[in-house]
Structure 1
Amino acid sequence: MLNIDQFELYSVAVITLLAVISPGPDFAMVSKTSLLKGRQEGILCAFGISAAISVHLAYTLLGLGVVFANNIWVINTLRYLGAMYLIWLGISALWPDIKAIVFDSQSRKTSELSKNKVSLQNKVTRHNSAFWSGFACNALNPKTMLFIVSLFSQVISADTSLLMELGYGAYIALAHFLWFALVACLLTSASIQQKVMIFKIWIERVTGLLMASLGLRLLIDLPLNTNTQ
């Protein structure tokens, strides 16, 4: 019979919900995927985010989470990787406009012909791309790392059993999936999708700029974070 600390249980439940619904890179990723690729891809992206929780949970339960959190270079490395990933996502979203500027109209016609040849391949790889985009976004998110490390080191007691800790981890992963799956469903409702089809190009441009800007902001703030321990 598990000895459950009721205060600890409620604290984990409430803190997790507040952390999950707070805006961040995960929310931006699910929103972009859902609006531009549809509900199924948005839910797969949410599943990828949920699956990435296991990465943070694994090193935290192994005792490496506190070590990582106490070494500023580990957090900054994760921030660099996360920032570069966001910048890459932003550039990828803006790539059609970049190609339109760099290449002339003839090369664009050629690329349009070749686009039909790879359309089938894109349909096959699209689902995997949505999952792994969500997975990478959360795995490289220092906010999630610090949240889980802080939760397990400050809120969850050292006397809590491993089975209970795994239960907390499963709850955190499930909360992430349910919330972002709900976001994906809301953003792909019929009324919203009708408007998305009209402004699809501009939505991709805006989300691309936002992700690239967020990544650049993280890079700019890094030197200031390095000096503070």
Structure 2
Amino acid sequence: MTESVLTLLTICFFARMTPGPDMLLIIRHATAAPRGGAPRAAYACVLGVCAGLSVHVALSVLGLALVLKTYPLVFRGIQIAGALYLLYIAARCLAAARGGGGSLFAARSTAPQAGMAQGFRDGLFCNLLNPKVTLFVLSVFTQFVSPESAMGDKALYGGVIVAEALVGWALFVRFLDTPFVRRVYDGRQGALNLVTGLLLGGLGSVMLLGRD
């Protein structure tokens, strides 16, 4: 069991560190935090990502993830919704870049809870509306459990997947908030918003066109 858990943690780590929408959003929120202020919106984004991941895990545990493989139209519908949300976030980033890099999150800096709510929503919907996450979780599950496995074993492996993401992304935000790393991007929010907007827009467009 211990060896299986370690193997699962390794798989999840490398999958999580592959650049994608979740990583881009977390970086976006972390780098938008004011100097000397805790990146609360970024941590909220992490919680949102993990909440979405928990839903994917639950679908796999209950066997409902097979619906995405059985009915391509369901998969495509969720994919289109996710693509549109990515394009919406990309538009926000580009609007912030055009305004000098501060508009969206700077406007929320005096209302931390509003910024945290936005961060949570971004993380939640970005992860939840990505059906490929469900298929990834399902493919990982089939390597460690079978339909006959006890529900406790399935819950254990599902919990490991979510816990790895929660701890890993939180440490990633902490790394981005270190003084050395902050010196790299402080004062460059406009450029970061532009790059993030273009990347998210590209990912959203690819998803909308139905390409891998």
TM bin (shorter chain): 0.7 to 0.9
The whole-number CA distance in structure 2 between the counterparts of 1:206 and 1:18 is 23
The answer (yes or no) to whether the contact 1:25–1:141 under 8 Å persists in 2 is no
Matches within 5 A, 1:80-229: 80-96=80-96, 120=110, 122-220=111-209, 222=210
Q: Which has the higher contact order (CA 8 A, sep 6+)?
A: 1
The whole-number CA distance in structure 1 between the counterparts of 2:15 and 2:74 is 22
The whole-number CA distance in structure 1 between the counterparts of 2:152 and 2:131 is 26
Q: TM-score, normalised by structure 1?
A: 0.78
Matches within 5 A, 1:6-25: 8-25=4-21
Computing the radius of gyration over CA atoms, which structure comes out larger, 1 or 2?
Answer: 1
**Aligned-pair distance for 1:97?**
5.6
Structure 1 portions without partners, runs of 5+:
101-110
Three-state SS of the structure 2 residue aligned to 1:132 is helix
Kindly tell me the number of residue pairs found equivalent between the two proteins. 204
**Aligned-pair distance for 1:209?**
1.4
Matched, 1:32 2:32: no
Aligned Cα RMSD in Å? 2.6
Higher helix share: 1
**1:181 maps to amino acid:** A
User: Percent of aligned positions with the same letter in both sequences?
Assistant: 26
Residue number in structure 2 paired with 1:51: 51
Matches within 5 A, 1:50-69: 50-69=50-69
**Aligned-pair distance for 1:16?**
2.2
The answer (yes or no) to whether the contact 1:52–1:136 under 8 Å persists in 2 is yes
Three-state SS of the structure 1 residue aligned to 2:65 is helix
The answer (yes or no) to whether the contact 1:90–1:207 under 8 Å persists in 2 is yes
**Aligned-pair distance for 1:99?**
7.3
Structure 2 portions without partners, runs of 5+:
none
TM-aligned CA distance change 1:32 to 1:96, over 3 Å: closer
The whole-number CA distance in structure 1 between the counterparts of 2:88 and 2:188 is 22
**Aligned-pair distance for 1:165?**
0.9
TM-aligned CA distance change 1:96 to 1:54, over 3 Å: closer
Three-state SS of the structure 2 residue aligned to 1:144 is helix
Residues 171-198 of structure 1 show CA distances to partners (whole Å, capped at 9, x for unaligned) of: 1111111111122111111123234232
The answer (yes or no) to whether the contact 2:109–2:115 under 8 Å persists in 1 is no
